[in-house]
Amino acid sequence: MSNILPNCYPPFGLYQGLRYDSRVQLRAVMAIAQANIIGYCTKEGLDQDLVTPRPMLGITFTSQKDSASVTGRLLTDAFDLQAFHEMINTLPMPEIPVYLTNPCIPYKASPKSMGMKLEYLSVGVLKRQADVARLAAHEVRGFALPVRSRFPHINLFYCGTSERRPRLTPKQKEKLRAIIGDARAEVGIRQVYLGKLVVGSEIDSPLPPDIFASPSG
């Protein structure tokens, strides 16, 4: 008998991180940009903690919140999380690069994040990955599992918190975009490669094997 209780699943999501070299390059962009953002915020009288680097870089196809919202329906369909995990674990990494275009800050006066837009045609790579994930879920009765398929950008920074998210003027947002763009140009990164799909607790953190292990004795 599995350690997974018969009436629930452990918190899980479906994520795709970046290949190691791409992650290193984007981290370099973030480090350069953050230093210049701090200087700009000081000059503008903005909170230096306005922008914080995102700890994990990659794509969220299904978050823990997403899967928790449909747990009841997954249970009704007898979704097999272990089989899903094993199936996803066998999928190879995509070989096609995902191209970055311009720095992206949402139009809202108090944006939640900042990142890099993806080239329109490159979004198709991610859509195909979403299709693969959806088909894998259907194979093990995960019909209700939400799988996202819209990926206009990769987030690099968080802007404040939900409790404290300062308002930015159009001029300030434009300057922040320029800072990120300059950092990207300095590193010279134009594309990233994706890592493996993982069923995990967060990007690059697969669910631990003991979740699926049978109890001894």
Burial (CB count within 10 angstroms: exposed 0-12, middle 13-18, buried 19+), residue 63: middle
Residue 81's CB: how many other CB atoms inside 10 A?
Answer: 21
pLDDT at 6: 47
CB 95 within 8 A of CB 60: no
Widest distance between CA atoms in the chain: 65
Q: Which residue has the tokens 């300095």?
A: 186
Q: Which residue has the tokens 């009288």?
A: 45
Query: Is there a domain that residue 144 lies in?
Result: yes
Query: Is there a domain that residue 217 lies in?
Result: no
CATH at residue 33: 3.90.1140
Query: Is there a domain that residue 3 lies in?
Result: no
Query: In the structure, how many helices (H) and strands (E) does the chain have?
Result: 6, 9
Q: Torsion over CA of 172, 176, 179 and 184, rounded to 10 degrees?
A: -160
DSSP 3-state assignment of 199?
strand
User: Number of folded domains in the chain?
Assistant: 1
Query: Is there a domain that residue 37 lies in?
Result: yes
Nearest to 108 by CA among 168, 181, 180: 168
Query: Is there a domain that residue 65 lies in?
Result: yes
Query: Is there a domain that residue 128 lies in?
Result: yes
Query: Is there a domain that residue 7 lies in?
Result: no
Domain that residue 122 falls in: 13-198
Taking CA atoms, 5 is separated from 11, 139, 198, 211, in Å, by 12, 21, 21, 10
pLDDT at 117: 93
Q: Which residue has the tokens 């920074």?
A: 157
- pLDDT tens, residue order, the chain (217 aa): 344 444 578 889 999 999 999 999 999 999 999 999 999 988 888 876 678 899 899 999 999 999 999 999 999 999 999 999 999 999 988 888 999 999 998 777 677 888 999 998 888 889 999 999 999 999 999 999 999 988 888 999 988 766 667 778 889 889 999 999 999 999 999 999 999 999 999 898 889 888 876 544 3
pLDDT at 85: 93
